[in-house]
Amino acid sequence: MSPTLTLVLDLVMVGLLAATIAYAIILNRQIIKLRESRGEMAELVRGLNEAMSRAETGVRSLKKTAHETGDDLQRTVAKAQTLRDELEFMIEAADAMANRLGNVGGERPKPGPAARPAARPGLSARPPVASRPAVAPRPIVEDDLGHDDHDLHDHGHDDHDLHDHGHIDHDDHDDLPPLRSAAFRNEPLRADPSRAESLARRPTTAPDPILREGESLSRAERELLQAIENAGKGVG
């Protein structure tokens, strides 16, 4: 071999070695940097692991929530179907009831004019109270025994009516108390001092006529009847 070729080969080998040394230096620097960033890489790996664990937990909770929600929805749907069936039954029953009521209302006859009740013969024959002549009040004049003229006049009128109509016979006078029999026999009544004092103290007021069996009775007539009844009770 010639020395020139040998020199060229040596120069080429030196260039390749120089390039290899430079590349090794670069790789060494990168390895140093990688060693320095190992802690950061470990922290990054731990963060990734935690994120994966959280993701798995979230997925499990989501699955559980979805399952519970599906069960709740299923129960709600079942209740809704039950309510729907009940509402349909109630609607059908209401329609049937409305149809029945409509049929009953259509078949019911319309009420005619109500007939007025017939008047009683006794009431129709009696004249109204407003058409009867009003009895004028009479002044009360007391005698020495404490009886007023109304009492005496009414007593005579009652005794006269009883004798004229024949409601009470003369034989029945013996069974009555003395005061009643005296009134029926048209005998003078004995004065009662307490009765005379009460009549004298009582203020004179206008008679208050009332209706009893179609007759107009004044206060004097009522007092006379009350006195006769009280005397009969006292004697009895």
pLDDT one-digit tens code per residue, 152-190: 444 444 444 444 444 444 444 444 444 444 444 444 445
Which whole number is the average pLDDT over 46-65? 93
Contact (Cβ atoms closer than 8 angstroms) between residue 158 and residue 227:
no
* H helical segments located in the chain: 3-36, 38-107, 121-125, 149-165, 178-184, 193-201, 219-235
Q: What is the pLDDT of residues 22-38, one digit of tens each?
A: 999 999 999 988 888 88
Rounded CA gap, 150 and 220, in Å? 6
Q: What is the pLDDT of residues 92-101, one digit of tens each?
A: 999 989 888 8
| DSSP codes, 175-216 | GS-HHHHHHHTTPPPPPPHHHHHHHHHSPP-----EEETTEE
Highest-confidence segment of 55-59, 115-119, 171-175: 55-59
Q: Examine the pLDDT at 137 and tell me if it is beyond 80.
A: no
Q: What is the pLDDT of residues 62-90, one digit of tens each?
A: 999 999 999 999 999 999 999 999 999 99
